[in-house]
Structure formats: structure tokens, C-alpha cells
């Protein structure tokens, strides 16, 4: 499926009440255009290859990355709104959670940028040799989450908020705090971190 421009696939869930599901077991590629290609409202389930060769593929409807790959070297893949599960082989550092939520068990095996959104209730593992970048001046909400770092976390900005029923952070790799930052363990519910 070769998208050759800054185009939009709109599942139109808001107008019809139904759900559109895009199951990608092949290759979904953006090969032209320097702006955004929107996959808007379809749930995008990737067991194949997601390849942004240029510009940005914006997923805006939720989805699952379980066993598939994202190999884009030049373009970006951004996850916006709704819930996502990333438990596959992401072989690029150009992969970002911009808004929305991580859900279920997530394993980052390469690079992942947490630019917005939250991890409330999720389980997240940063695998050995993988890198998580936290660059934004936001609240990094991980209420009732479990985070296991076996790789590198680069915390450049923002406030980490744990708590809920309980947040557990296990650090076995490098957690690099690059500023005068705060990890707050008592967000919403006071369960502690």
C-alpha cells in the first residue's frame, strides 16, 4: 500500500458510528510528500511493515504493533489520540507517542520518543540497547503503570507523575536525568511510586 502524497484515509467513525479497521500484514509505505499522511479513525493493526520514507505517517485511531516492524529511516510515525499497544519490532528511532495512551504490555526494542499522551495502567519495557527519549515540558503520566528499563532512558524535560494504585519503576539500565527535574510519586490516588 504505497501512499504517494500527503493524503488522508478517514474511517469516519464519528459520522457513521461504526469502526474501520486497517489490518496491515504487508507493507504500508509513505513514499512521497513532505507533510502528513493521516490514518484518521481506523484502528491500525500492524503485523507487517510500516515505512515512512518521507514526511510523517500520523495514526489517529488507535492500534496494535504486535510482531510487525516500523523501519522508517527518514520519515516519522506518530501515534495520536486513542489507545496503542507497541509490542513488536520497531527498528527505527523515528517513532513517537504524541497524544493518546499506551495500553497493555509494551516492549520497545529500538527508539521511542514520548512527546505527549500517557502510560496510565500500561506495562512498558525498554529492552537492552533500546532508547526512550522524554523531551517535552509535559506531565509524563504513568499512574498505576509498571516500567522496566533495561536500556537507556533520556529524561530531558517534564514532570514524571506516578501513583494511582501503585507505579513500579525498575531500572536495570541507564536512566539519564538531563536537568533539574522532578519525579512525583503521588499523582491521583496517592498509591505511591
How much is the pLDDT for 13?
A: 57
> Does 37 have pLDDT greater than 60?
yes
Query: Residue 38 and residue 3: Cα distance in Å, rounded?
Result: 10
Please say if the pLDDT value at position 176 is more than 90: yes
**SS3 category, 94:** coil
Output the pLDDT for position 94: 86
Q: In this predicted structure, what is the pLDDT of residue 187?
A: 62
The band of 192, judged by pLDDT with boundaries at 50, 70 and 90, is low
- State pTM to two decimals: 0.89
Q: Phi/psi zone of residue 74: left (φ > 0), alpha (ψ -120 to 50 degrees), beta? A: alpha
Model confidence at 16: pLDDT above 90? no
Q: What pLDDT score was predicted for residue 41?
A: 86
Residues counted in the chain: 193
pLDDT per position as a tens digit, 70-122: 777 788 999 999 999 998 667 677 889 999 999 999 999 888 999 999 999 99
Q: Is the pLDDT of residue 193 over 80?
A: no
CA–CA separation, 142 and 84 (whole Å): 15
Residue with grid cell 504486535, as numbered in its chain: 66
Amino acid at each position: 500500500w504505497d501512499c504517494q502524497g500527503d493524503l488522508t484515509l478517514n474511517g469516519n467513525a464519528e459520522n457513521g458510528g461504526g469502526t474501520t479497521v486497517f489490518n496491515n500484514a504487508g507493507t504500508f509505505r509513505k513514499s512521497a510528500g513532505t507533510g502528513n499522511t493521516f490514518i484518521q479513525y481506523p484502528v491500525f493493526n500492524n503485523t507487517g511493515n510500516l515505512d515512512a520514507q518521507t514526511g510523517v505517517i500520523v495514526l489517529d485511531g488507535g492500534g496494535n504493533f504486535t510482531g510487525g516492524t516500523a523501519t522508517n529511516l527518514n520519515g516519522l510515525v506518530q501515534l495520536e489520540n486513542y489507545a496503542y499497544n507497541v509490542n513488536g519490532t520497531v527498528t527505527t528511532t523515528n517513532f513517537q507517542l504524541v497524544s493518546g495512551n499506551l495500553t497493555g504490555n509494551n516492549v520497545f526494542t529500538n527508539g521511542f520518543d514520548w512527546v505527549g499522551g500517557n502510560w496510565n495502567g500500561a506495562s512498558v519495557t525498554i529492552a537492552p540497547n533500546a532508547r526512550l527519549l522524554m523531551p517535552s515540558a509535559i506531565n509524563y503520566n504513568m499512574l498505576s503503570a509498571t516500567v522496566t528499563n533495561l536500556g537507556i532512558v533520556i529524561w530531558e524535560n517534564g514532570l514524571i507523575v506516578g501513583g494511582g494504585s501503585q507505579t513500579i519503576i525498575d531500572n536495570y539500565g541507564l536512566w539519564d536525568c538531563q536537568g533539574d527535574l522532578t519525579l512525583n510519586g503521588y499523582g491521583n490516588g496517592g498509591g505511591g511510586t
